Amino acid sequence: MKRIPVTIISGYLGAGKTTLINRLLSEDHGLRLTVLVNDFGRINIDESLLQDANAQTIALSNGCVCCTLGEDLTAALHRILAEENHPDHIVIEASGLSDPVAIANTVVNEAQLSYGGIITVTDGENLSDLLGDDLLRDQVSQQIRAADLVLISKCDTLSNAVMEQLNALGARTPTLLESAPLADLLFDVLPLPVGRTGAKSAHHSYATWHHRSNEPMDRCRLGDKLANRPDGLFRMKGFVLTNGGGYELHVVGRQVSAKRCEAEETVLVALGPAARISREDIEDWWHS
């Protein structure tokens, strides 16, 4: 059974998580999403998309569904997995005070799910004040450190002061929320080895790479390669054929998952910020 990717949206109170969710629900990404949210009241659903709603679920005409998160994340995920028609992707909006790592661990422990990364929305306008507050600093810092991708809200440019604070926290791939290519970054809509008629062109700020091969790779070599991947490689997914069988591969920031599967060839796509890595860098690393 194909595993369903899960992306976790984190960020402190008022950072802009709901704004991001609103964009995801209205964008023309062509995916059937299930979004687990804390409060329906904050989600601004376009009336033209609204198909049906009740106390626990909102169904949209584009195939997306919103469900209330409730107190038990595992139970909510099991309800989704028990449905006959599975979504293409699950998005979890974490509360502003929650630990995204704990949510990620829940996802990783579900065999039918694949970890799609932690996206932390950060208030660029008020970040300095938040980090300067003794009561809030640890919470905000923890959410940023846990992120595989940091999206900066409420500002048009990244000031040197904000960048210095993010770098000090080890923030990965800080990107402005307003200009972020959400579908590509969050849902892995990457250029595949075959052409797509009418597809949107790849955004300029991220380098993309793809690879296809029928030649098996040594399994130990694959492990060594993944352990020494370049720093700028943010996302990689696909299937790898080795001399020990096939593996479904997911790389999201610091997280690597390789699980047994049936594979007749190696098919991979990858992505990273162009300022840190190029297509040639990824190619040289993979073939080294």
pLDDT digits (tens, 9 = 90+) for 172-224: 667 787 766 576 666 653 333 332 233 333 333 677 788 889 999 999 999 99
Q: What is the CATH number of the domain that holds 67?
A: 3.40.50.300
242 found inside a domain: yes
192 found inside a domain: no
Measured distance between the N- and C-terminal CA atoms of the chain, rounded to whole angstroms: 33
132 found inside a domain: yes
At 49 the pLDDT is 55
Which of these, 225, 224, 251, 247, lies nearest to 237 by C-alpha position?
251
At 202 the pLDDT is 33
pTM comes to 0.69
Question: Which residues constitute the domain of residue 262?
Answer: 206-287
Q: Indicate if 278 and 149 belong to the same structural domain.
A: no
At 56 the pLDDT is 66
Q: Assess contact for 97 and 130: CB atoms under 8 A.
A: no
92 found inside a domain: yes
Q: Indicate if 9 and 98 belong to the same structural domain.
A: yes
Q: Indicate if 142 and 180 belong to the same structural domain.
A: yes
At 173 the pLDDT is 67
- What are phi and psi for residue 166, nearest 5 degrees? -65, -40
Give the integer Cα–Cα distance in Å for 242 and 250.
Answer: 16
At 9 the pLDDT is 92
193 found inside a domain: no
Q: Indicate if 46 and 141 belong to the same structural domain.
A: yes
Q: Indicate if 111 and 25 belong to the same structural domain.
A: yes
How many domains does the chain contain in total? 2
Q: Indicate if 42 and 142 belong to the same structural domain.
A: yes
Cβ contacts of residue 253 below 8 Å, gap of 6+?
Answer: 117, 118, 147, 148, 149, 172, 173, 234, 235
Q: Indicate if 52 and 154 belong to the same structural domain.
A: yes
Q: Indicate if 130 and 212 belong to the same structural domain.
A: no
Choose one of 123, 155, 187: the last residue of a domain: 187
Q: Indicate if 171 and 29 belong to the same structural domain.
A: yes
Q: Indicate if 47 and 159 belong to the same structural domain.
A: yes
Q: Indicate if 50 and 169 belong to the same structural domain.
A: yes
Q: Indicate if 118 and 33 belong to the same structural domain.
A: yes
23 found inside a domain: yes
195 found inside a domain: no
Choose one of 130, 157, 187: the last residue of a domain: 187
196 found inside a domain: no
Q: What is the CATH number of the domain that holds 215?
A: 3.30.1220.10
- For the chain (length 288 residues), average pLDDT per consecutive 10? 85 86 79 78 58 62 70 83 88 86 88 87 89 88 88 85 87 73 58 32 60 92 91 83 89 79 87 82 92
